[in-house]
A and B are shown apart, each in its own frame.
Chain A
Amino acid sequence: EPEVTQTPSHQVTQMGQEVILRCVPISNHLYFYWYRQILGQKVEFLVSFYNNEISEKSEIFDDQFSVERPDGSNFTLKIRSTKLEDSAMYFCASSGFHRSDTQYFGPGTRLTVL
C-alpha cells in the first residue's frame, strides 16, 4: 500500500539554524499539507499546497517558514531561523483529487531546537 514517508525521523538543531524537513507524498496525490504537534498539545495545521502554490496557511506559518515541491516527488518544509518554540513533531500529509479525500499522514519528524 502506498504511504507517505518523511525524513529525518528526528532532527536536533541549534536555535537560529535553518532546517529542512522532507516528505515524499503518495505519487498521484494533488494536495499536500504540513501539520505540527507540540508535545502535549493538539495537531495544528500549518499550510496546504496545491497546483504548485500555497492554497492556505495558518497564522503560525510566518515568514520564517516556506514550502517547496522541488522535483515533483518531494515536498519540503523549511524553517529559516529556528526558535525554541519550533520544537515539535511535524507531520506531512497528502490527499488525492478532492479536498475532502482522505489525508494520508507520514510518521512525522521530531524537531528538537536547543
Chain B
Amino acid sequence: AQSVTQLDSQVPVFEEAPVELRCNYSSSVSVYLFWYVQYPNQGLQLLLKYLSGSTLVKGINGFEAEFNKSQTSFHLRKPSVHISDTAEYFCAVTDGSGNTGKLIFGQGTTLQVKP
C-alpha cells in the first residue's frame, strides 16, 4: 500500500529565507503527487501537482516541487518565504493505476515564518 512520509513536522524559518519541505512516498509505480496547504480554520487548498512530464512543477504563491523518481521524493521549495506562508503543508499521493482518486496524505509539516 502507498504511504507518504513528511520528514519534518515543523520547519521554522525567517521571512525572505528559502525553504524546503521534504516528502517521500513508498512506490514509484504510476503515481500522481500533490502538495496541499491548510491555513488556520480553512480547508485544504492545492498548491501544485505532478501527473507526468516535466519533473519540475510550479504552483501558486511562488512554490515549486521536483519529482524525483529514483529517490521517490517530491520536495516542495520556495526561494523566499513571507509571513503569510505560515500554514500546514501536506504532501499527498494517489495511485495512478487505481480506480479512484483516493489521496494518501503525509502527516503534514507546519511552516512557521518568523519576522
- State the A residues within 8 Å of B (CB): 4, 31, 33, 35, 41-45, 48, 50, 55-56, 91, 93, 95, 98-108
A31 to chain B, nearest CB (A): 6
**B32 pairs with A103, CB closer than 8 A:** no
Contact of B100 among A4, A55, A105 (CB under 8 A): A55
Contact of B43 among A41, A42, A101, A107 (CB under 8 A): A107
- Number of A-B residue pairs, CB cutoff 8 Å, is 66
**A99 pairs with B44, CB closer than 8 A:** no
User: How far, in whole Å, are A99 and B101 apart by their CA atoms in the complex?
Assistant: 4
User: How far, in whole Å, are A93 and B49 apart by their CA atoms in the complex?
Assistant: 16
Contacts of A33 in B (CB 8 A): 101-103
User: B3-41: contact bitstring with A at CB < 8 Å (1 yes, 0 no)?
Assistant: 000000000000000000000000000001010100001
**B102 pairs with A91, CB closer than 8 A:** no
Assign chain B's interface to a size class.
20 to 34
A105 to chain B, nearest CB (A): 4
Question: Nearest 8 A-B pairs (CB), nearest first?
Answer: A99-B101, A105-B43, A105-B44, A48-B100, A43-B105, A107-B43, A56-B100, A42-B107
Contact of A102 among B49, B90, B99, B107 (CB under 8 A): B49
A27 to chain B, nearest CB (A): 17
